[in-house]
Amino acid sequence: MNYEKCVMIIDEQLPLGIIANTAAIMGITLGKSIPEVVGKDVYDKTGNKHLGIITFPVPILKGDIQTIKTIRKKLYEPEFSDLIVIDFSDIAQMSKSYTEFITKMQSITETELNYIGITLCGTKKKINKLTGNIALLK
């Protein structure tokens, strides 16, 4: 797949630390999901190594729980099945361990989730269709 565009949408009402944590966790998951978008390691003039970073920008857009939930619901439609989707919920954010997260997720339905962040990667046309009217988080 050609990843033309990637965006994160994060609930702008969250405290700054939770916003940063949400972006970091989704970014790590993005790197795991599509490692080919991480560039090769680079070296500075003195020969020091710096690990590769993602090869394209990932703008962070401002949203709220309802906007993110609406977009997440649309992503279950066949039209968007080829997109990479990383969602992050309040359940994930509040869990003290991955085991706790798994247990909690298995006990609720998707409609009960409150998404605080979502990352989308895919074609520019599809990403814009879903997020074109959402402003940058500043």
Q: 5-131 belongs to which homologous superfamily?
A: Bit1 (3.40.1490.10)
If one counts every other C-beta atom within 10 angstroms of the C-beta of residue 72, the result is 18
Question: The tokens of 24 are what?
Answer: 């970091």
Instruction: Measure the N-to-C terminal CA separation of the chain; round to a whole number of Å.
Output: 30
pLDDT tens, 14-42?
Answer: 999 999 999 999 999 999 999 999 999 99
pLDDT at 137: 95
Q: Can you list the positions of beta strands (E) in 13-128? A: 42-43, 49-50, 60-63, 84-89, 115-122
pLDDT tens, 89-126?
Answer: 999 999 999 999 999 999 999 999 999 999 999 999 99
| CA distance to 11, 21, 25, per residue, from 28 (Å) | 19, 11, 5
Query: Whole-model pTM above 0.85?
Result: yes
Question: The tokens of 78 are what?
Answer: 């066949």
pLDDT at 3: 79
Residues with Cβ within 8 Å of residue 88, at least 6 apart in sequence = 22, 25, 26, 115, 116, 117, 118
pLDDT band at 2 (very low <50, low <70, confident <90, very high): confident
pLDDT band at 1 (very low <50, low <70, confident <90, very high): low
CA distance 5 to 59: 9
Break the chain into its structural domains and give their ranges.
Answer: 5-131
Local structure of residue 96 (DSSP, 8 states) = S
**Residue 115's closest CA among 7, 16, 32, 8?**
8
pLDDT tens, 41-63?
Answer: 999 999 999 999 998 889 999 99
